[in-house]
Amino acid sequence: MPRLTIDNREVEVPAGSTILDAANKLGIEIPTLCFLEGCEPSTSCMVCVVKVAGMPSLVPACATIARDGMQIESECDVVREARRAALELLLSDHLGDCMGPCQVTCPAGMNIPLMIRQIAAGDLADAIVTVKRDIALPAVLGRICPAPCEKPCRRAAFDRAVSICLLKRYVADADLGSENPYLPQRKTTQGKRVAVVGAGPAGLAAAYYLLQEGIDCTIFDDHDQPGGSLRYAVAAEKLPRDVLDKEIALVLRLGAEFKGGSRIGALLSIEDLRRDFDAVFVAVGKLADGDAEAMGLDIGKSGLAIDAATYQTNLPGVFAGGDVVRGRRLAVRSVADGKEAAVSIVQYVLGRPVTGPAKAFNTRIGRLKDGEIETFLAGAGDGPRITPDAADGGFSEDQARREAARCLHCDCRKPQSCKLRLHAAQYDAKTSRYQGPRRLFTQNTQHPHVIYESGKCIDCGICIQIAAAAGEELGLAFVGRGFDVRVAVPFGRSTAEGLKIAAKKCAEACPTGALALKD
């Protein structure tokens, strides 16, 4: 039984074990992409490299047999640099968007393509969960949002953008109109209280997400009714008050306490709130002269000064977001601020380091090349953008489904399980660190269960092994050599022919979004 050390910790493993096995035994995480238990190590991605004392080169942990007396370093600078380089090199040849251009542009970062797939499949119950994960007031925004998300929609390069905003409204309206509108789960209470000052979009959103984390919220507002600018600055024709009321009611039903008619000033000061609550979120809307000074908060360019990543003001425990910070009216931005500030506030009240929300790692295809839009269009419905004909300006069910069918689904189907994305974020890999001419986008959708996008393939060959082991008649093969090597079905046949039995297994095992389940 060889004994070795990893990062100065001793471990003994059965003969024939790899360095990766030894690390696992110690609970040391070594990142891997191309390694899968039960498959022959591909030694392809080289993300699992470690340094062995006395060896001139770094070695892949997944395939290097542990030998007695080995001294291994798994987190030193050389190793981290090599891992990051491996990831960045893979990313330099990784053709795909982790998130669709719409999601990237949406200030709230809503997973729009997923919502659209759920609409198309008639899964409105799932769709509202998707929507409300990022947008607390979708029925409201479905009526007033200028829809920046539709601007970069790839479909616009062909005819017109997908009507995203109205699709979201359709989901939200359907939910509000149902017997039991969606109410997210609340975590058990943490015994912490947050004062939210201002019941506009930012404040309501912050409360909505804080409550879900088990934090109690009290919302103060100088008006009698909650809604802030939504109620007092947006015309009722544009935003019917019953819709606003219903959506706000859901926030209150989640457990927020509303105290109207309580303006910060003589009666109620920030100092009082800081004393009585564990944290304060200031979202009072556009600042009037003297407001900031009265609250003792510093002023920035367009409003209160905050740390851009954490929403913290100059006063400890006081956070700010929405128009009070930005000075311009964009409800979706305010809703996003509320959601993001809530993350920082939770970190703060629970005594964790305040870092704000993690920035999602994203790769982008960027500008399409000639012919690529056709590839995207291959699986989409070919109708024109639908204009609602109902009096209230919303989609009917049939219209919503047809409009949903127009989406090109530019996003990756494995944004959560992609190991490249995971480790790239972990090692702070930059997508554009190395640049070279990019390949042509391909997307293969004719298989009933899986999608194959060769541009996302890292040539690990796990799927080839799985298909062969499953006894596929044709299976998959490496075709070509070197930089041009691609995984493909032999003899130019289709994925449907190549993967008759092992498709799902291959898609699940694929470390990236190259092979992914359709739904």
Partner 1 sequence: MSELDLTLVDSAVERIGTSREKVLELLQAIQGKFGYLPTEALERLCELTEITPASIAGVSTFYNQFRHRPAGKYTINVCIGTACHVKGAEQVYDAFLRHLEIPQGQDTDSQRLFTVDRIACLGCCTLAPAVQIGRVTYGHVTGDSVARIIDDFLNQEKARAARPVRKRTLLGDEAAGRGEIRIGLGSCCVARGSGKLKEALDAALSTTGIEVPVKRVGCVGMCYQTPLLEVVLPGRESFLYAQVEPGDAKAIVLRHFKPPRLTKRISNVVSTALDNIVANKGTETVTRHSINVREGHVADFLGKQAHIATEHCGVIDPVDLDEYLGKGGFEALRKCVSELDAEQIISEIETSGLRGRGGAGFPTHLKWSAVRSQESPDKYIVCNGDEGDPGAFMDRMLMESYPFRILEGMAIAARAVGAETGYLYIRAEYPLAVERVNKAIEICNERNLLGEHIFGSDFSLSLKIVPGAGAFVCGEETALMASIEGRRGMPRLRPPYPAESGLWDKPTLINNVETYAVVPWIIRNGAAQFANLGTGNSKGTKVFALAGKVACGGLIEVPMGISIREIVQDIGGGVGGGLRFKAVQVGGPSGGCVPAELADTPVDYETLKDVGAMMGSGGLVVLDETDCMVDIARYFLEFTQNQSCGRCTFCRVGTRRMLDILERLCAGEGKKTDIDELEHLARIIKASSLCGLGKTAPNPVLSTIKYFRSEYEAHIEKRCPTGKCRALITYSVTDDCIGCTLCAQHCPVNAIEFRPYEKHQIDTEKCIRCGTCRNICPADSVKVE
Residues making contact with partner 1 (CB under 8 A) = 41-47, 49, 56-60, 63-65, 78, 81-82, 85-86, 89-90, 92-93, 434-437, 458-459, 464, 467-468, 473-485, 488, 490-492
Judged by beta carbon, residue 56 or residue 353, the one nearer partner 1 is 56
Q: Smallest distance from the beta carbon of 64 to partner 1, in angstroms?
A: 7
Our measurement of the distance from residue 89's CA atom to the centroid of its chain's CA atoms, rounded to an integer in Å, reads 23
Q: Smallest distance from the beta carbon of 414 to partner 1, in angstroms?
A: 20
Judged by beta carbon, residue 290 or residue 482, the one nearer partner 1 is 482
Judged by beta carbon, residue 215 or residue 488, the one nearer partner 1 is 488
Contact 356, 309 (CB under 8 A): yes
Judged by beta carbon, residue 87 or residue 176, the one nearer partner 1 is 87
CA dist 464 and 479 (Å) reads 11
Q: Smallest distance from the beta carbon of 464 to partner 1, in angstroms?
A: 7
**Bridge-based pairing state of the strands 3-6 and 9-12:** antiparallel
Q: What is the radius of gyration, based on Cα positions, of the chain?
A: 26
Contact 339, 333 (CB under 8 A): no
The token pair at 307 is: 């740390």
Q: Smallest distance from the beta carbon of 72 to partner 1, in angstroms?
A: 15
Judged by beta carbon, residue 323 or residue 459, the one nearer partner 1 is 459
Kindly provide the residue ranges of all beta strands, DSSP E only, lying in 70-148, ordered along the sequence. 71-73
Judged by beta carbon, residue 320 or residue 506, the one nearer partner 1 is 506
Judged by beta carbon, residue 57 or residue 188, the one nearer partner 1 is 57
Kindly provide the residue ranges of all beta strands, DSSP E only, lying in 231-312, ordered along the sequence. 257-259, 279-282
Judged by beta carbon, residue 58 or residue 349, the one nearer partner 1 is 58
- Token pair 């024109």 is at which residue? 384
CA dist 268 and 400 (Å) reads 47
**Bridge-based pairing state of the strands 193-197 and 216-220:** parallel
Q: Smallest distance from the beta carbon of 436 to partner 1, in angstroms?
A: 4
Judged by beta carbon, residue 274 or residue 505, the one nearer partner 1 is 505
Contact 281, 324 (CB under 8 A): no
Q: Smallest distance from the beta carbon of 160 to partner 1, in angstroms?
A: 36
Q: Smallest distance from the beta carbon of 465 to partner 1, in angstroms?
A: 10
DSSP result, 419-468: HHHHHHHHTT--TTSS---------B--SSSEEE-GGG-----HHHHHHH
Handedness of CA 74, 77, 80, 81 (dihedral sign): negative
Cβ density class 89-125: b for 16+ within 10 Å, e for less: bbbbbbbbbbbbbbbbbbbbbbbbbbbbbbbbeeebe
Q: Smallest distance from the beta carbon of 480 to partner 1, in angstroms?
A: 5
**Bridge-based pairing state of the strands 71-73 and 49-52:** antiparallel
Q: Smallest distance from the beta carbon of 22 to partner 1, in angstroms?
A: 16
Q: Smallest distance from the beta carbon of 498 to partner 1, in angstroms?
A: 9
Contacts for 73 with CB less than 8 Å, ≥ 6 apart: 6, 7, 50, 51, 53, 79
The token pair at 499 is: 């993967």
Q: For residue 228, which of 257, 263, 274, 254 has the smallest C-alpha distance?
A: 263
**Bridge-based pairing state of the strands 71-73 and 3-6:** parallel
Judged by beta carbon, residue 314 or residue 432, the one nearer partner 1 is 432
Judged by beta carbon, residue 299 or residue 469, the one nearer partner 1 is 469
